[in-house]
């Protein structure tokens, strides 16, 4: 680039500066005014609208209910509650069927086959007892709930309910200094946090977008619902009379989800009052008309684009994790397996938080995918207790046929109601999965904020479980 | 009888839907680039899916598309690359998703820009239409959701609208697939030059502003003779748009033209 053209370009810019002074400051407003005037003029010529205000009448009434000051939130919780209830109830049977097919039937066949063709025992173990079982578990636990949850959620989306949720949440988020559209990204996070982090692009201001990204992890994602449901059923459900068990454990899960929303509000508030200071920016949100959902298309796209996509991702991560679990359960250091070596040393620390060393180890192994936390915990517990006759032997991830059997193992491992509650808390408040961490980095392009988004929830989780454990022990008097 | 029928079919534009070949993500050797722009939640992605046969996720909430999506279709032996842009209310703001749309229309230089508008909210949608017509000479308006407008007894005279805006206006109901054939024909006609657009330009701008724009445009065109949207660049400069100032300083204003399509690359969508 030569000097002359640099000079010419600077001349253009300085000419622009001079002209800007000549035309005056409110030039932008004038331009917008003439655009609006032109638009109004043109549409006035081309559009004939009805004289009477008959349009939108039933939609207005529905909006009045869904975005009502008093009923808006209860209706929202009710709708979300129904969606989750249908998911939990509907997923049970197909989950069991898949597990009995993939794990009870197919796994021994594969193991027998791989040994019969002469694979070394350790290799057959890594491949079948590690990688294959991890994959089978993820499919049987994740596929049924996703195949129900995603279509239901997409139907709500197609119907036009999401902008109403956003409208309801706007005032709350604005009070804590965040953007009202954060409600949309939060809702996306209930499916998958990585998707929620990407969805934060709809937020204009970088400050508010960062807040939305950092707090998205407080939306319980697909990978964490099964953990919440299982632990709530075992520990909370069994603490109340049998006829209440179902409703109470479902309520406990909804409570944890709402707690997650509260944490996202508190953290948003904290961030916008400290490192990410600023005013909440105003935005206009259109409430689009309600449209009858296209049921078949919704089913098709939500199954193919979301369910299969998320499942595929989970499988990709579960296979290597399965290998790692098999290895830590079988490779020994000085006569102890790595798993035992680690968990027995971390145990004294973990007990302070009302958890145990096995849970910590499971969360480290399960960083790639939250879905495999529970199977990992069960496998490690069995090994620690030497309960070889339960499940399929040491170092094998397995699914137990009934929650009763799972409960027996956990109680035998020294678990109490406190351990259950704190595991639910820690499942809500811990680092995002590796995909989400990577997505956060890609979206923020900042190592600093990725680190914050990763470790902030862990610190919070430890603080919360610590206090729950201390108060619990004080109340119990020991 | 059947012969008469088939003859009638051939002269009807609807017949041409037979010439549509949905190419999905196969976009090699395309002849024309078509951009889909419009306000949020007007059904751009639904139109996109209809034309390409792809299944870009659609949803009834504004701001669903945050990245660019691309697909292809073939019509009358021409191959088109279709680019679905995030919805935007205006070309004058600078949020990340709106910038994607703005930069593409401005620097990606699509052969045709299809502006999808919500028929039930025409006046508001026209604000964006007017801004886009300010920066491009080749556009088609898709009057989407015309069925909903009918339900609310809103009547739109598309011919007078087309006359006012100087570009083809096609009523459509993309969710039902209605009007897609006429839309294809309009895109084809504008791309091949058999329909010459005379796009609307903003009227009633104060005369001093007009003079300022003229003066500045002259200077810009001297330095960047190949620039197409001089008037708009001049307007943005007068407003002090930093990204335009930077583009002038670095000379990118012109040179990005062919390369920009690559530089505003679509990011992989995780959904």
**In angstroms, what CA-CA distances link A168 with A175, A183, A257?**
12, 9, 17
Shortest CA distance to B172 belongs to which of B51, B25, B35? Answer: B51
Q: Are B187 and B80 in contact (CB under 8 A)?
A: yes
What average pLDDT score do residues B18-41 get?
Answer: 78
User: B214 touching A, CB under 8 A?
Assistant: no
Coil vs helix vs strand at B72:
strand
Chain B partners of A39 at a C-beta cutoff of 8 Å?
123-124, 126-127, 129-130
Looking at CA atoms only, how far is residue B236 from chain A in angstroms?
10
Using DSSP, state whether B170 is helix, strand or coil.
Answer: strand
Chain-chain contact of A42 with B161 (C-beta, under 8 angstroms): yes
CA distance to partner chain B, nearest, from residue A52 (Å): 10
Pairing state of beta strands B169-171 and B155-156? unpaired
Q: Per-residue confidence of chain A (478 residues) as pLDDT tens digits?
A: 567 777 888 888 888 888 877 776 677 777 778 888 888 888 888 888 765 555 557 777 888 888 888 888 888 888 877 876 777 667 767 877 887 888 778 888 888 888 888 888 888 888 887 788 778 877 776 677 778 877 887 788 778 887 788 788 878 888 888 887 888 788 778 777 887 888 787 787 888 889 999 999 999 887 787 788 778 877 887 788 877 777 777 788 888 988 999 999 999 999 988 888 776 666 666 677 777 777 777 777 777 766 777 678 777 777 887 788 788 878 888 888 888 888 888 989 999 999 988 899 888 888 877 777 877 787 677 766 665 444 444 445 455 555 566 777 788 888 888 999 999 999 999 999 888 898 899 888 899 999 999 999 999 999 999 999 999 999 886 5
Structural domain boundaries in chain B: 2-192, 207-263
CA gap B32, B252 in Å, rounded: 23
Is B160 at the interface with chain A, CB within 8 A? yes
Task: Say whether B97 and A201 touch across the interface (CB within 8 A).
Answer: yes
Q: Count of CB contacts below 8 A, A vs B? A: 192
Q: Does B25 touch chain A (CB under 8 A)?
A: no
| CATH code for the domain defined by B2-192 | 3.40.50.300
For A287, B76, B172, the CA distances from B184, given in Å and listed in that order, are: 30, 10, 11
- Is residue B213's pLDDT more than 80? yes
Encoded tokens for A372:
């495999």
* A37 with B212: Cβ contact below 8 A: no
pLDDT of residue B249: 81
* Of the candidates A367, A387, A369, A401, the residue with the CA atom closest to the CA atom of residue A139: A369
Q: A38 and B203 in contact by Cβ < 8 A?
A: yes
CB A420 within 8 A of CB A472: no
* Interchain pair B59, A194: CB under 8 A: no
pLDDT in tens, A322-363: 788 788 878 888 888 888 888 888 989 999 999 988 899 888
Tokens at A306, concatenated: 């979301």
Classify each residue of A276-289 as buried b or exposed e, where b means 16 or more C-beta atoms within 10 Å of its C-beta: beeebeebebbbbb
A133-159 and A309-330 are packed helices; what angle lies between their axes, rounded to 10 degrees?
Answer: 150
The segment with the largest mean pLDDT, out of A97-101, B30-34, B96-100, B209-213, is B30-34
Residue of B176 and A86 predicted with greater confidence: B176
Global pTM reads 0.66
pLDDT higher for B216 or A455?
Answer: A455
Confidence of residue B254 (pLDDT cuts 50, 70, 90): low
- Enumerate the H helices of A355-416 as residue ranges: 357-365, 373-385, 403-412
* pLDDT (0 to 100) of residue B18: 56
Asked whether the beta carbons of A275 and B240 are under 8 A apart, the reply is no
DSSP state of A393: S
Return the pLDDT at A451: 95
Select the residue of B59, B93, B131 nearest A157 (Cβ to Cβ): B59
CA distance B134 to chain A (A): 10
pLDDT at B261: 39
The share of chain B scoring above pLDDT 90, in percent, equals 22
Closest by CA position to B88, among listed B141, B124, B137: B124
Nearest by CB: A43 against B61, B123, B153:
B123
Q: Which tens digits make up the pLDDT trace of A161-219?
A: 877 887 888 788 888 888 878 887 887 787 778 878 887 877 878 888 899 999 999 99
Interface contact B202-A305, CB threshold 8 A: no
What is the token pair recorded at B203?
Answer: 């009227």
């Amino acid at each position: 680039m030569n000097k002359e053209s640099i000079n010419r370009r600077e001349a253009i810019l300085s000419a622009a500066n001079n002209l800007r002074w000549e035309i005056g400051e409110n030039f932008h407003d004038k331009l917008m005014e003439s655009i609006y005037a032109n638009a109004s003029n043109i549409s006035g010529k081309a559009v004939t609208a009805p004289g009477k205000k008959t349009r939108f009448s039933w939609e207005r009434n529905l909006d009045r209910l869904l975005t009502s000051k008093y009923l808006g939130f209860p209706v929202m919780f009710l709708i979300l509650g129904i969606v989750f209830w249908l998911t939990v109830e509907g997923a049970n049977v197909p989950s069991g069927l898949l597990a009995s097919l993939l794990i009870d039937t197919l796994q021994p066949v594969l193991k027998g086959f791989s040994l019969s063709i002469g694979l070394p025992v350790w290799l057959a173990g890594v491949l079948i007892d590690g990688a294959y079982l991890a994959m089978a578990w993820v499919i049987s636990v994740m596929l049924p709930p996703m195949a129900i949850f995603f279509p239901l959620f997409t139907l709500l989306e197609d119907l036009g309910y999401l902008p109403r949720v956003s409208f309801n949440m706007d005032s709350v988020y604005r009070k804590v200094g965040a953007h009202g559209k954060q409600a949309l990204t939060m809702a996306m996070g209930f499916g998958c946090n990585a998707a929620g982090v990407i969805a934060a692009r709809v937020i204009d201001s970088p400050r508010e977008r960062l807040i939305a990204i950092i707090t998205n992890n407080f939306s319980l994602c697909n990978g964490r619902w099964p953990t919440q449901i299982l632990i709530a059923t075992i520990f909370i459900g069994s603490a109340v009379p049998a006829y209440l068990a179902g409703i109470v454990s479902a309520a406990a899960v909804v409570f944890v989800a709402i707690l997650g929303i509260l944490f996202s509000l508190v953290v948003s508030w904290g961030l916008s009052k400290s490192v990410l200071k600023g005013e909440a920016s105003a935005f206009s949100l259109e409430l689009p008309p309600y449209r009858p959902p296209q049921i078949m298309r919704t089913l098709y796209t939500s199954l193919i684009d979301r369910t299969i996509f998320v499942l595929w991702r989970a499988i990709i991560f579960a296979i290597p994790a399965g290998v790692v679990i098999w290895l830590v359960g079988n490779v020994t250091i000085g006569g102890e397996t790595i798993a035992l070596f680690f968990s027995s040393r971390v145990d004294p620390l973990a007990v302070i938080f009302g958890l145990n060393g096995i849970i910590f180890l499971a969360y480290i192994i399960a960083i790639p995918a939250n879905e495999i936390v529970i199977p990992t915990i069960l496998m490690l517990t069995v090994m620690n207790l030497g309960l070889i006759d339960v499940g399929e032997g040491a170092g094998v991830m397995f699914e137990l046929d009934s929650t009763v059997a799972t409960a027996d193992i956990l109680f035998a491992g020294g678990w109490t109601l406190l351990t259950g509650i704190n595991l639910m808390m820690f499942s809500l408040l811990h680092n995002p999965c590796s995909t989400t961490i990577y997505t956060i980095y890609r979206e923020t392009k900042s190592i600093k904020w990725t680190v914050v988004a990763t470790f902030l929830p862990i610190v919070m989780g430890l603080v919360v479980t610590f206090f729950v454990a201390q108060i619990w022990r004080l109340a119990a008097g020991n | 009888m059947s012969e008469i029928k088939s003859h009638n079919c051939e002269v009807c534009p609807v017949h041409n839907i037979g010439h549509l070949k949905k190419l999905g993500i196969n976009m090699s050797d395309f002849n024309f680039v078509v951009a889909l722009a419009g306000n949020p939640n007007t059904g751009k992605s639904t139109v996109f899916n209809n034309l390409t046969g792809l299944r870009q996720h659609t949803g009834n909430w504004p701001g669903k598309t945050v990245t660019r999506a691309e697909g292809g279709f073939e019509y009358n032996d021409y191959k088109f690359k279709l680019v679905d842009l995030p919805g935007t209310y205006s070309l004058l703001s600078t949020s990340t998703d709106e910038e994607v749309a703005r930069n593409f229309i401005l620097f990606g230089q699509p052969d045709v820009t299809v502006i999808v508008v919500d028929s039930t909210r025409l006046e508001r949608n026209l604000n964006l239409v007017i801004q886009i017509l300010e920066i491009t000479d080749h556009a088609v308006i898709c009057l989407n959701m015309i069925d909903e407008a009918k339900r609310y007894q809103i009547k739109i005279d598309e011919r007078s609208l087309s006359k006012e805006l100087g570009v083809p206006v096609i009523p459509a109901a993309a969710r039902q697939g209605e009007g897609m054939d006429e839309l294809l024909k309009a895109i084809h006609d504008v791309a091949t030059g058999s329909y010459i657009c005379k796009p609307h330009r903003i009227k009633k701008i104060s005369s001093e502003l007009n003079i300022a724009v003229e003066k500045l445009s002259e200077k810009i065109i001297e330095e960047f003779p190949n620039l197409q949207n001089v008037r708009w660049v001049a307007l943005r400069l007068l407003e002090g748009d930093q990204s335009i100032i930077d583009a002038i300083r670095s000379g990118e204003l012109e040179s990005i033209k062919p390369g920009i399509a690559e530089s505003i690359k679509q990011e992989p969508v995780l959904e």
